[in-house]
Structure 1
Amino acid sequence: MTLLSGKTTLVLCLSSILSGCTTNGLPAPYSINLSFPVITQNQINSGGYYIKDAEQIRTTDGLCLDTGSERQNHLTLQECKHAQSQLFSFHRDKITQGEKCLDAAGQGTKEGTPIILYSCTGNDNQRWLTDDNKIKGRQSRKCLGTNSIIVRKGDPVVLADCDFSRALEFTIR
């Protein structure tokens, strides 16, 4: 495989069917040239569409978004573990856990608005985009972040200005 300007070119030799195929670096007489977009594993897909279901959302500091117990709906950062409270699914511009959606509480748009898990309503405060490994609210244009510059276990997840260090960068695992 050869990486060419954001696309991968794959040359398949049909040697089991056709005779004369070679793979000595020169194009084979019988080959198929396929190009498809490269999706790098463990990175948020630009545009936020159709990332794998039921994955952890990890910060670059090695903490995971966590919904806690069923009675608690505020998201916090916790040590990553194999727990349902840390598994999220991505559907177009929604991030869900079971039947609930990631939600900017009270349809808030200001910095510091808590991020909660709430019944899916389809409102804009439950719509999210990704940009440079950040998760940004469509309504607020703010990113998931914390109230502190130093990220710690147990920190609540809130809306934060995307240009400042309180905005979190994520990978999907």
Structure 2
Amino acid sequence: MRTEHRFRTPLSLAAAVAALALLVPGTSSAAPAPAEAEAAAQATLVWSDEFNGPSGSAPSAANWNHETGDHGWGNNELQNYTNSRANSALDGNGNLVITARREADGSYTSARMTTQNKVQPQYGRVEARIKIPRGQGIWPAFWMLGSGFPDTPWPNSGEIDIMENIGREPHMVHGSLHGPGYSGGNPLTGSYMHPQGWSFADDFHTFAVDWRPGSVTWSVNGNAYQTYTSADTRGNPWVYDQPFFMILNVAVGGNWPGYPDGSTQFPQQMVVDYVRVYSLDGSGGGGTGTITASNGICLDVAGAQTGDGTPIQLANCNGNQAQQWTVGSDGTVRALGKCLDVAGGATGAGTRVQLWTCNGTGAQRWTHVSGSQALRNPQSGRCLQPVGRTQSDGTRTEIANCDGSAVQRWNLP
């Protein structure tokens, strides 16, 4: 099992003062960007998990992995992460519930879920509506890691903490960047205090980052409270212009939150209404990363070959360059330096889709349809789907009559 990568220590007095200064406009160089309201109006939903399903069912395996283990996760945490429904399950009311428990033998269990190799956005608004748990030693988090992890080790991989809370601060949440030269107890970080000083565990709140090339802005319930840019890394690398995967977890104990005491009650639950990713430019794309079908399998260049005419297929997500697509503002969808192309510029249903040298023709123009999430070729008026409508490893792709079905739904980076 891999180890954790957040080595958080209690804030020094100076750091605490600096963090609280972020709550007062104009007191920090990391002030929120003024264009957030305008950006909100342009946001377009490109992926979501609404956690709809029967009570007691598992979260979607197309979106989520479970990481398991009880080795302390690099922070001397106490919990054993499991894939049991006792620790992560849908509640039947449109929520995911992650439950931290104290077991009969005095040990602790919880859950840690990631979208690694399944949903890995690059840029956009990444948000979740969450009702956090409470109590001394309880540590809920919604955060992201660079898709190169663990091959690219932390902190070089990059980490974006969208929301963290430690139980002894019920009225406070934290947002941070961890990268090379600014990690562990010395991240780029700030905090947001509940406007009324109430506990964030009392109700649902929406925690988000608006993430663009060279900048990240944090918000709670639509209120932006800090922005960091590539100019703020103290001369160290900015490692956030790449795909990231998302993580939801509830830790018990650790160096930063401390440990449960007599006041801590179990079980504790983090209730997640949804997790959503929006494009901030209204295009429904614009990033670089994986394109996934509705069952989570990846759009792939067969054999990672770069020759004109190489088939485009579905393949199990593996993180290689044959599955890294760039959605261009010109309507192209590119991988390995070439374009997603309708063979021969044909328009008939059943025409295969291939990789081809980018040439500016209508055969290489695509739009991501709002609502159905179809990837449509305007020249033909038809939509991308797997041949035979089979979403399995090795299935080639074609254009077909657009019908709004799940096999024509694609999640873009």
Above 0.5 in TM-score?
yes
- Partners in 2 of 1:65 and 1:168 — Cα distance? 12
Please state how far the C-alpha of 1:75 moved relative to its aligned partner: 0.4
1:111 equivalent in structure 2: 349
Task: Look up the equivalent residue of 2:366 and give its one-letter code.
Answer: W
Letter aligned with residue 320 of structure 2? A
Q: CA deviation at 1:153?
A: 1.6
Residue 51 (structure 1) aligned with residue 269 (structure 2): no
Deviation at 1:52, TM superposition (A): 0.9
Q: What are the superposed Cα offsets for residues 85-138 of structure 1, whole Å, 9 maximum, x if unpaired? A: 111111120111133111000101111111100001111110111103111001
Structure 1 pair 126–47 and aligned structure 2 pair: CA distance change class (3 A): farther
Contact 2:278–2:284 under 8 Å retained in 1? no
- The structure whose Rg is larger is 2
TM-score (norm 1): 0.72
Aligned to 1:84: 321
Q: Does 1:14 align with 2:251?
A: no
Report the Cα distance in structure 2 between the residues aligned to 1:33 and 1:125, rounded to whole angstroms: 36
Identical counterparts, % of pairs: 24
Note the C-alpha offset of 1:44.
7.5
Matched residue, 1:4: none
What's the offset of the Cα at 1:47?
6.5
Matched residues, number? 147
**SS of the counterpart of 2:389?**
coil
Q: Distance in 1 between matches of 2:355 and 2:348?
A: 18
> Structure 1 residues 44 and 162 mapped into 2: Cα distance closer, same or farther (>3 Å)?
farther
What residue is the counterpart of 1:74 in the other structure? 311
Q: Is the 8 A contact 2:385 2:408 kept in 1?
A: yes
Looking at structure 1, the residues matched to 334 and 361 of structure 2 have their Cα atoms a distance apart, in angstroms, of: 14
Q: Which residue of 1 aligns with 2:368?
A: 130
Q: Which runs of 5+ in 2 are unaligned?
A: 1-22, 29-33, 48-276
**CA contact 1:146–1:166 (8 Å) conserved in 2:** no
Higher-helix-fraction structure: 2
Query: Unaligned stretches of 5+ in structure 1?
Result: 1-11, 18-31
Root mean square deviation, CA, Å: 2.8
Cα gap change, 1:34/1:57 in structure 2, threshold over 3 Å: closer, same or farther? closer
Stretch of structure 1 that moved more, 143-152 or 61-70? 143-152
Secondary structure at the aligned position of 2:388 is classed as: coil
Match of 2:397 among 151, 154, 157: 157
Given that residues 46 and 284 in structure 2 are in contact (C-alpha distance below 8 angstroms), is that contact kept between their aligned partners in structure 1?
A: no
CA shift, 1:160, in A, is 1.3
Residues of 1 paired with 2:380 and 2:297: CA distance? 24
Deviations 1:58-80 (CA, angstroms, capped at 9, x unpaired)? 01111111102215710010001
Provide closer, same or farther for how the CA distance between residues 140 and 83 of structure 1 changes in structure 2, counting only shifts above 3 A: same
The TM-score with structure 2 as length reference comes to: 0.32
For residues 109 and 102 of structure 1, do their structure 2 counterparts lie closer, same or farther at Cα, with a shift above 3 Å needed? same
- 3-state SS of paired residue (1:125): helix
